[in-house]
Structure 1
Amino acid sequence: MLYWKHPDNDSDFAAEPKKTSDGRDYVAVYDDQEVDFAQAKPKEPPLAAGGGPKKLLYYRNPMGLPDTSPLPKKDWMGMDYIPVYEGEEDEPGTVKVSVAKLQNAGVRSEPTAMRRLVRPIRAPGIAKPDERTLLTVALRADSFIEWLYVNETGRHVKKGEPLFRIYSPDMVKVQVDYRISANASGLRDDRGALRRMENLQIPEAVLVELKRTREPVISFDWTSPVSGVVMQKKAIEGMMMKAGDEMLRLADLSSIWVIADVPEQDIAQIRVGTRAKVSFRAFPNEVFDGRVTFILHELEMATRTAKVRIEVANLDHRIKHEMFADVEINAGDGEAERLSVPVSALIDSGNRQVVIVDRGKGRFEPRAVKVGLRGDGFIEIAEGIKAGENVVVAANFLIDAESNLKAALSSFTSEPPKDAGAPATEKKP
């Protein structure tokens, strides 16, 4: 056996078994069947759109090597070079792949388009109280606790609800001073004593009673200034509390903070006001809506993460402090449309990013691009392609490999440059 030839084209040969573009096997040629190349009829040139034959440009190597000839010739195996007509030549930088190979590899293309991209950033978080709602209940004078109405941590109190009953010698004394000044001045110059009682935050109900009866109120109830939950309780019935000592700590739990640890490389994508979804392990089937309200100004040195504060509504008080949370922040503007392609279209080798542009009729062009935001399975193309161009989204590595092989063969077979450093020949006189 000498070689294999195309079943329909006597001028198309191969040194090894192969198939035609429609899947048929090349025919084996033995010694007694060798074709007389001198008498072989050349293939009829294809017709142009106007009806006449297409212009013959050159002959190319039958094995795919980047070697062309202006005249018919044979390669070292005796195979005829294949004629290339006008419209069939390869454009610089393009790769031509047969239809059969495209179908077998599952090559698929999609057009580029303008899309709104939102990139989800996932991070762990912990529920914390809203620091803006924390309130300490403390007295401005030494006092004794006669009765403790709120005697347990975690109890919910309403604004104006009595917390405890106190007796304070200093508060009684200032009431007496007020009465004396009022009696002495005929109720015309009691502003100094009244201001001292206000500075001690004596309840309004005590002042009303004092003005009505002209008698100091010895012990009275201290009410809650806000509605909230008792987070800490240091007051004990019967004990004396010094001025400024924290008796109770209250917090409004209708909203809570989730502090998320966001990796350093993702911080630039997050803005105050960005929406977030929060889920807790205690409520695996629920998602709570939140919004980024603050990004702390320093990173954790050990983990290289930044603290991002997310505010979440908690009207039913189901979310408990220190609960673990899983946070998903919708990074990116989500409003401006960006030219994007499916992520599968990008070939990223680390030092270059390439997409394969489908030029049609089995022609493909590897093109370097600059990428931007990623999200929702798409990636922004900032530079390199235009809207509407088709890019390969499946089996693009096959075409990239073909392109690299073609470039390597072209470099291997090209004529080496002349040595510019060779000494010039000396002219003889």
Structure 2
Amino acid sequence: MKTTTLTAVAIAVLVAAGGGYFLGQKQSHQPETQPQPTGRKVLYWYDPMMPGQRFDKPGKSPFMDMQLVPRYADEEKAAAGVGISVQQQQNLGMKTTKAQLHQLNVPFSAFATVSTDERGVTVVSAPANGVVKRLYVNAPQQQVKAGEALAQLWIPQWTTAQQEYLAVRQLGDAGLTRAARERLALQFMPEEVIRALERSGKPQTMLTLRATKAGYVVKLDVREGAQITATAPLFEIASLDPVWLVIDYPQTQAQSLSVGTEVVATTQSWPGEQFHGTVSELLPQMETTTRTLKARIVLNNAGQKLKPGMYLSVSRAQTAERPPVLAVPEEAVINSGESTRLLLATGDGYFRPVNVKTGLTAQGWTEITSGLKEGDDVVTSGQFLIDSEANLRSVMPEVTQ
């Protein structure tokens, strides 16, 4: 009886083990690609590790050793953005603001150095070979007035031509007299010397050089008693009204200045006083050591208070305000290097990135020239985490079938 009972138990164990084995073999041979029916419409299948690729049939991913995941029709809204619950938004510190028309005025300030207006530099040269008999201005940087005597020259070679003119003039022939007078002018003889010759009837070999305008002597290349040759430069005279300002400003402010821009300059040498000028040229070369641009400004200096070498602070003069432009806070803009985008709040806790084109940035706001409309809700804080999630879910790029 005891033996019969043990035999029955052994047979039961073998039957159970065999049934489990065959059941396992049956389940292991069932196809794994058959999705469980859920009653939900499937739009496409995708690999969660490669969300940019879509498939129209279920199966195993060609990229990873895993099954494709279905995207259902009721998830279509979520596919157009990233859903964030209210609690998660609070945890991320998310903030939004509306795109709005904003007045953007770019402030501009720079430092500048006063220099001589080289367009106003005049050169006083010798009209003929001669000798410097006397110098009235004998030191560089000396101030001179318009018409002030600079030097007295003795030019003996004029004697022969002047004597010939006096002889022709005594003949009374108007044509010959006119020709002889023109010959004197061709020898660079000033009109005042010719008239003195006509009044006195004697050769005039002494010439006084005078300053044609007020200024100061930049260069003095002659001394008393020196022999000079025709056209040799003797003096260089520069004016202090106007003067040049050469300013250095960063390349990020390249759009702030243009030819004709009015500027205001101030200096600690004259507190409370303003000097007005205009941008005359944007110099073509960038300073390689400081990576700055240069501009040349013509500055009025009627009182001659500004001297070459002085430092000034320069700002742009108040001009007519620019028309308002569509703008968002500067921190809302996501610049990846390849594209510029914003994150929009589409409602119901969903957020969607959009590509935009930007313009001017000033006072903490950035101009949006395309890709956005007034009143759109833009995320200004926490947008980088959501943007990364959106890219993982292939919201930004268009995926292919």
Question: TM range, normalised to the smaller chain?
Answer: 0.5 to 0.7
> Compared with structure 1, are the counterparts of its residues 200 and 251 closer, same or farther at alpha carbon in structure 2 (3 Å cutoff)?
farther
Measured in 2, the distance between the counterparts of 1:368 and 1:143 equals 78
Once residues 104 and 240 of structure 2 are traced to their aligned partners in structure 1, the CA distance between those partners, rounded to angstroms, is: 36
Larger deviation, residues 304-313 vs 97-106:
97-106
Tell me the residue number matched to 2:86: 98
2:370 corresponds in structure 1 to 383
Q: Work out whether residues 162 and 222 of structure 1, in 8 Å CA contact, stay in contact via their aligned partners in 2.
A: yes
Match of 1:353 in 2: 340
Higher relative contact order (CA 8 A, sep 6+): 2
- The amino acid of 2:227's aligned partner reads M
Structure 2 Cα separation of the partners of residues 404 and 144 of structure 1:
85
Once the two structures are superposed, the pairs formed by residues 108-127 of structure 1 within 5 Å of their partners are 109-118=97-106, 120=108, 125-127=112-114
Amino acid at match of 1:105: G
Partner of 1:175: 162
User: What is the distance in 2 between the residues matched to 1:358 and 1:177?
Assistant: 98
SS of the residue 2:328 aligns to: strand
Where does the alignment leave 5 or more consecutive residues of structure 2 unmatched? 1-76
2:362 matched to 1:370?
no
Task: Give the drift of 1:93.
Answer: 1.6
Once the two structures are TM-superposed, the CA of residue 376 in structure 1 deviates from its matched residue by 3.4
Distance in 1, matches of 2:177 and 2:145, equals 33
Structure with greater proportional helix content = 2
Give the distance between the partners of 1:207 and 1:291, measured in 2 at CA. Answer: 43
Residue in 1 aligned with 2:196? 209
Structure 1 or 2, whichever has the larger Rg, is 2
Are 1:404 and 2:392 matched, yes or no? Answer: no
CA RMSD, aligned part only?
Answer: 3.9
Cα distance change on mapping 1:307 and 1:211 into 2, 3 Å = same
Q: Distance in 2 between matches of 1:97 and 1:194?
A: 101
CA deviations on 1:370-427 (whole Å, 9 max, x unpaired) are 112223332221112112334344xx1x24414534664x57xxxxx9xx9xxxxxxx
Q: With the length of structure 2 as denominator, give the TM-score of the two structures.
A: 0.66
Distance 1:403 1:348, change over 3 A: closer
Q: Deviations over 1:194-229 (max 9, x none)?
A: 223323443433222222221222324222122222
Q: How does 1:16-27 map to 2 (within 5 A)?
A: none
**Secondary structure of 1:387 counterpart:** coil
Q: What is the CA distance between 1:248 and its match in structure 2?
A: 0.7
Residue 327 of structure 1: CA displacement? 5.3
- TM-superposed CA distance for 1:113, in Å, is 0.8
Give distance in 1, aligned partners of 2:92 and 2:275. Answer: 47
Conserved in 2, the CA contact under 8 Å of 1:358 and 1:365? yes
Identity %: 26
Task: Tell which deviates more after alignment, 380-389 or 133-142.
Answer: 380-389
Residue 344 (1) aligns with residue 323 (2): no
Contact 1:181–1:189 (8 Å) recurs in 2:
yes
Partner in structure 2 of residue 162 of structure 1: 149
CA 1:284–1:351 in 2, change beyond 3 Å: closer, same or farther? farther
Contact 1:109 1:358 in 2 (8 A): no
Distance 1:289 1:272, change over 3 A: same
Please give the TM-score of this superposition, normalised by the length of structure 1: 0.62
Letter in structure 2 aligned against 1:388: G
CA distance in 2, matches of 1:150, 1:333: 49
CA contact (8 A) 2:220 2:235 kept: yes
Change (3 A) 1:259 1:239: same
Deviations 1:240-286 (A, max 9, x none): 22212111101122012223455667656643223445566867876
| Residue 107 (structure 1) aligned to one of 90, 95, 115 | 95
1:184 equivalent to 2:168? Answer: no
> Contact 2:99–2:326 (CA<8 Å) still a contact in 1?
no
Query: Contact 1:95–1:399 at 8 Å: present in 2 too?
Result: no
SS at match of 2:203: coil
